[in-house]
Amino acid sequence: MTLTPPALVGSELRRWRELRSLSQLALSTRADVSTRHLSYVENGRSRPTPEMILRLADVLEVPMREQNRLLLAAGFAPRHPQRGLDDADLSSVLAGLRALLDAHAPFPALLMDDHWEIVDANEPIQALLAGCDPALLEPPVNVIRLALHPGGLAPRIRNLATWRAHLLHQLEQRIGHSGGDPRLVALRAEVDAYPGGDERAAGRPVDPVVLLELATDDAPLRMFSVASRIEGPADITLDALHLETFLPADDHTRRVLGG
């Protein structure tokens, strides 16, 4: 059976509502829509306008890319533009992000997309990658794969079970937020098969933040990370980007990194 546009978008909106664990009453209240009308939309008896789709999607925290898919499912044109990273309209924003990466030196910093693939990085990040399999450093470089793969950073991470649990928790959250992005689901299945301990047995971190502890010939490097995103982007590509900066958690690490 081929679904009509109203039925297709209705079933997708219902899927997102259930992913967010909201009842029809809760969603209709938050979106200022009657429960009756929402029910008609979800079962395909009523065709929502683009404005209604975007209103519901906003309450459901549907990512921009998925909002476009909802609009297409209903037979409407996408509302959110998506440009390539080499697009001239994005050049000033990316130049600003590049400046932030450079300004964070001598400490490592990365710019990643929403699949944890590196878009850009500063020079100090190279100091962390010693001994990694060159194949893992071929673009596109995936940070979660690089961290947890036995040919990547994993053998040098002293608190691997804790760091693995931290990354897999982030990955699980991103899968939920994205509505089950197939690439993220595949990445989770891949890294689940890597050795490194059961994340459920990692235990509660004793530090106030989750630390990355990297073994060296001397004392280990101990760092924590801070993630930031662009506020209110109007483009799918920019909406997917986030900056991850690493900061030293002790004086030894600060001295080694040159801070």
Checking if the pLDDT of 142 tops 90, the result is yes
pLDDT of residue 192: 93
Average pLDDT over residues 128-146: 95
Residue 122 pLDDT exceeds 70: yes
pLDDT at 1 over 50: no
pLDDT at 5: 80
Average pLDDT, integer, range 94-115: 97
Task: Flag the least confident range among 61-70, 199-208, 213-222, 227-236.
Answer: 199-208
Task: Write out the H or E segment, with its range, that includes residue 245.
Answer: strand 242-248
Dump pLDDT digits (tens) for 90-99: 999 999 999 9
pLDDT at 127: 84
Flag whether pLDDT at 130 surpasses 50. yes
What value does the mean pLDDT take over residues 121-135?
93
pLDDT digits (tens, 9 = 90+) for 164-219: 999 999 999 999 999 999 999 999 999 999 987 665 555 555 667 899 999 988 88
42-48 average pLDDT score? 94
Give the pLDDT score at 4: 75
Tell me, what amino acid is at 52?
A: M
Asked if pLDDT for residue 119 goes beyond 90, the answer is yes
**Domains of the chain by range and CATH?**
5-73 (1.10.260.40), 88-257 (3.30.450.180)
Q: Which two tokens stand for residue 147?
A: 């961290």
Say what the pLDDT of residue 204 is.
57
Integer CA distances (angstroms), 44 to 7, 18, 23, 70, in order: 4, 17, 18, 14
223 Cβ contact list (under 8 Å, min separation 6): 107, 108, 211, 212, 214, 246, 247, 248, 249, 253
Average pLDDT value for residue range 29-54: 96
Please give the pLDDT value at position 198: 60
> Taking the model in full, what pTM does it have?
0.89
DSSP string, 93-146: HHHHHHHHHHHTTTS-EEEE-TTSBEEEE-GGGGGG-TT--GGGGSSSPBHHHH
